[in-house]
Structure 1
């Protein structure tokens, strides 16, 4: 005569129905976390959540079982295993025995979660790009080698720039800045940033520019000046430009007589010389006495080692917004950021997501509306931007609702995005955990995005759904 031990099950509620799964399959139960939406993900995927640095794919059990509602559940059942899958339910009840799921006394119905997931999600496919290694996509063509990537920002009515490789990130002005008594007028104070004190300086004062009455929301450009990381206050960050070195003219020494002018290294000509940017010399931004003040807190050798290590162990991303969602692109894949032209040329037989053609310094660039592709609502009141993405011989402009920051993210804060096996979501290859609050940002794989745009265009034309040429 044999005996068996009844299996324990975790019961929970979805709507008015009660279900149960083996307790051995459950890692833990948590409250509903903050989540980021994944555009064009399978319908049951509510979003991605962050559980102590681990990315969770939060799936609505109601949607898996084709029940109405279910997206407003407040409890999340984290399943065991390496897939990081969690179930969104309305409430978790109690532990019950297997017998309580059978017969007339049944209080909950036992369900097969692996089977439900397999029916609703396509089996993951191997990725062609080197996502797992976290390697940035870099354009190594001959044209890219002779180009300079600049971050442009304004102070008053003037446009300045610093090379991107001298910048760590761009952040909002901290809520709290500790003032430094008896310091130089250019030194605003210090603020905590990533576990260290960041000196905050006024670039307007360093350049000896007059004040402004404009109502601005300033940004801080964190630059590596010599052996120091310094936050420079600017009025606005408004462009990333990839320019040929031939379009950059050094300032003759005779013209750099004033203290402010001496900090300008070159003049960059954009749009055929119609727009000029003053390129700053980061090594000459700070006077020796200010550098001496910064060196008091930390030895130069320690500062240099930490700065080099931070640059080697991190990647830079341009953060942009579409609707209410934030995404990131590797800075190495961005040619420049420009304002949306008032009018675009038409492209015969183009699918709906291509708005038209823009003329960028004599080159025809297809402009793709990311709001339609990312399933975001349109907003006519937003002053949109175009991110020009260039890889090898492919180039396209992607319309976004706004460009907010440039951030440097440590590689140990980058994780592979959950592979949902759906072509529409494979444009997101990684997830970045940003800041002390571990804010999640979906990172776009640029080559997948451009490849997909080309496939969409060819498919639409071959199907005959595109409009005829006028």
Structure 2
């Protein structure tokens, strides 16, 4: 782990302090020393892993040297991170830098302490917490990056919808017409000689995105769009993208096409009603969701002339040679202070937490209960408990993300769902070997450097281990609400 260096040698050494003791690194191992960066915690990782950080576009695992050495946790204003190279960058959190020397260690006591600085055997230290699984994690990651992922099975007559709120009413767009859903960006530029339907334009990924008020577009009561829950639904209109500003995202649903009814003919009389193509009945008809048509949203001639000059054709959408796998769509949700993502193809639905859940006797603590989802018994799992994250946020914003894992549906409770995000491939990074942990739950990391964000992308197949899958399957099959086969 740490040993007194042999006879003096002429080499540069970085001396650091950890819990009152001094240790040294050969300068040849040290890439740089930085202030402690903002880190994202990795669930189910060894306790010595502080988290992962962005280092000029690279994903940097940050490890506590205190923890590796079995010392109590602690930090101060002098805390620094020593970046070393072990085939990939690794950050070692230390209490402070003591000195940079060009002579050997171990031959004389340090000026400030009676004990000599000891040379760190970094590989031996790391192997204690990470060595056992590093090789296996590496092979699992290589296989995960090369093998195609199965998407959730959907029947041909199902329609995927993204639901959002506008002036207290529920609206939706088909998922295949939604490019992404993002927070309202700051700094939009107003367009002169336009009415209130046109909120302005913003630059996004090198292109101008017009922002349109859905309230004004649909003739609903107007209001400000500066609420923290407001979202921009970036919709595909022909070969261009338009940002539709809504009051907030609500759910992602997959419904049988029979649940979507045509709009009564008497209501199709122009204006807002003509922009609605279907009505979706939820909760036994107690809740109605109006499904909008992107083809009809801007069919009005005056409106089209207003919006068209601000719309830029997306070459990736119009080019026949464009690869559909260039970008990836993920659903972004929050657990504690971290952002996580799941491939949208693997998510069946995002629904509200029911008022009551059926409790299961002798079920493990992470299973909240089961819910009836249109005749199917779906176990509900508190993902915060599984990831050892304290409950936070508002109960009313909690959502259940329903995923199919090995032909079995399970719902995972999260603090909130914020976005449907399209992530370019060049912003996706493999999980660092040290952060892989015993399982490959975090499949990849979206490093969105321009926004200072790191999103941990979860592998849906690794959300439950084999024993948990078998347990949940047996509990679901034994539940009295389970429909007869």
Of 229, 234, 241, 1:222 maps to: 234
Q: What residue number does 2:407 align with?
A: 393
TM-score, normalization: structure 1? 0.88
Deviation string 1:198-249 (CA, Å, 9 cap, x unpaired) is 1110111111223369995422111111122111111111111011223222
Q: What residue number does 2:158 align with?
A: 147
Of 446, 449, 452, 1:432 maps to: 446
Counterpart Cα distance in 1 of 2:225 and 2:63: 47
Rate the CA distance shift 1:345–1:308 in 2: closer, same or farther, 3 A. farther
TM-score, normalization: structure 2? 0.85
Superposed counterparts of 1:91-106, under 5 Å:
91-97=96-102, 99-103=104-108
**Which stretch of the first structure deviates more once superposed, 198-207 or 120-129?**
120-129
Q: What residue number does 1:67 align with?
A: 71
Q: CA RMSD in A?
A: 3.0
Rate the CA distance shift 1:413–1:202 in 2: closer, same or farther, 3 A. same
Q: Does 1:112 align with 2:121?
A: yes
Q: Does 1:265 align with 2:274?
A: no
Counterpart Cα distance in 1 of 2:195 and 2:87: 54
**Which stretch of the first structure deviates more once superposed, 247-256 or 230-239?**
247-256
Of 164, 169, 174, 2:180 maps to: 169
Q: What residue number does 2:10 align with?
A: 6
Q: For 1:132, what is the secondary structure of its paired residue? A: helix
Q: Does 1:123 align with 2:133?
A: yes
Q: For 2:144, what is the secondary structure of its paired residue? A: coil
Q: For 2:123, what is the secondary structure of its paired residue? A: helix
Of 134, 142, 145, 1:132 maps to: 145
Rate the CA distance shift 1:410–1:452 in 2: closer, same or farther, 3 A. farther
- The question of whether the paired residues in 1 share the 8 Å contact of 2:208 and 2:311 is answered with no
Counterpart Cα distance in 2 of 1:87 and 1:104: 24
Superposed counterparts of 1:61-460, under 5 Å:
61-70=65-74, 74-97=79-102, 99-103=104-108, 107-121=116-130, 122-124=132-134, 125=136, 126-127=139-140, 130-133=143-146, 137-139=150-152, 141=153, 143-211=154-222, 217-251=229-263, 255-286=267-298, 287-296=300-309, 300=313, 302=315, 304-305=317-318, 309=322, 312-379=325-392, 382-383=395-396, 384-391=398-405, 393-420=407-434, 425-434=439-448, 436-451=450-465, 454-455=468-469, 457=471
**Which stretch of the first structure deviates more once superposed, 240-249 or 111-120?**
240-249
Rate the CA distance shift 1:104–1:200 in 2: closer, same or farther, 3 A. closer
Superposed counterparts of 1:34-73, under 5 Å:
34-70=38-74
Deviation at 1:348, TM superposition (A): 2.8
**Which stretch of the first structure deviates more once superposed, 339-348 or 103-112?**
103-112
Counterpart Cα distance in 1 of 2:311 and 2:97: 52
Structure 2: 5+ residue runs without aligned partners?
1-7, 476-485
